[in-house]
Chains A and B, each alone.
Chain A
Amino acid sequence: MWNYSDKVIDHFMHPRNVGVIENPNAEAEVGSIACGDMLKIQLKVDDEGIIRDAKFKTFGCGSAIASASILTEMIIGKHVDEVAKITNKDIAEALGGLPEEKIHCSVMGRDALEAALANYRGHTRKTPEEEDHSKLICRCFGVTENKIRRVVQENNLKTVEQVTHYCKAGGGCGACHSEIEDIIDDVWKVKAAERCERPEKPKQLTNIQKIALIQDTVEREIRPALRADGGDIELIDVEGDKVLVALRGACAECPASPVTLKGYVEQKLREFVSDGLHVEVVSQ
Chain B
Amino acid sequence: MSVIYLDNNATTRVADEVLEAMLPYFCQYYGNPASMHTFGGQVEKEIVRAKERIVSLLGISDITEIVIMSCGTESDNAAIHGTLESYPHRRHIVTTKVEHPAVLNLCRHLSRSGYQVTELPVDSEGMLSLDELRAAITENTAIVSVMYANNETGVIFPIEEIGQVVKEKGSMFHVDAVQAVGKIPLNLATSSIDLLSLSGHKLHGPKGVGALYVRKGTRFKPFMIGGHQERGRRGGTENSGGIIGLGKACELAEAHINDENTRVKALRDRLEKALLTSVPNVRLNGHKAHRLPNTTNVSFEYVEGEAILLLLDSHEIAAASGSACTSGSLEPSHVLRAMGIPFTFAHGSIRFSLSVYNTEKEIDTVIRVVPEIIAKLRAISPYWKEATAKTKARGAGQPTRKAAS
Contact = CB atoms under 8 A, between A and B. Distances in A.
A56 to B, nearest CB: 8
A114 B145 CA distance: 50
A19 B304 contact: no
B403 to A, nearest CB: 11
A29 B386 CA distance: 15
B310 A62 contact: yes
B379 A36 contact: no
A13 interface: yes
Interface in B287-337: 302-307, 310-311, 314, 323-326, 328-332
Contacts of A144: none
Contacts of B344: 33
A259 to B, nearest CB: 47
A18 B307 contact: no
Contacts, number: 75
A18 B380 contact: yes
A38 B331 CA distance: 14
Nearest to B329: A171
Contact of B381 (A59, A61, A140, A164): A59
Contacts of B314: 13
B380 A172 contact: no
A38 B382 contact: yes
B108 to A, nearest CB: 11
A57 B381 contact: yes
A36 B380 contact: no
B30 interface: no
A234 interface: no
Interface string A262-278: 00000000000000000
Contacts of A129: none
A269 B52 CA distance: 76
A46 B347 CA distance: 38
B79 to A, nearest CB: 27
B330 to A, nearest CB: 3
Nearest to A105: B325
A59 B382 contact: yes
Contacts of B357: none
Contacts of A168: 330
B383 A33 contact: yes
B11 to A, nearest CB: 14
B382 A29 contact: yes
Contact of A59 (B302, B326, B330): B302
Contact of B307 (A29, A40, A62): A62
A61 B330 contact: no
Contacts of A62: 306-307, 310, 325
B190 interface: no
A33 B331 contact: no
A65 interface: yes
Nearest to B324: A36
Interface in A19-47: 19, 29, 33-40
B26 interface: no
A120 interface: no
Contact of B331 (A57, A61, A171): A171
Interface string B368-405: 00000000000111110000000000000000000001
A15 B328 CA distance: 23
Given A36-B304, A36-B332, A172-B330, 13 more contacts: A13-B311, A19-B405, A33-B383, A36-B325, A37-B325, A38-B383, A58-B382, A59-B303, A59-B347, A59-B380, A61-B305, A62-B325, A141-B330
25 contacts: A9-B310, A13-B311, A13-B314, A34-B343, A36-B304, A36-B323, A36-B324, A36-B332, A37-B304, A37-B325, A38-B383, A57-B382, A58-B380, A59-B302, A59-B347, A61-B304, A61-B305, A61-B323, A62-B306, A62-B325, A65-B380, A102-B325, A140-B331, A141-B330, A171-B329
Shortest Cβ-Cβ A-B pairs, 6 listed? A171-B330, A61-B325, A57-B382, A61-B306, A40-B382, A36-B324
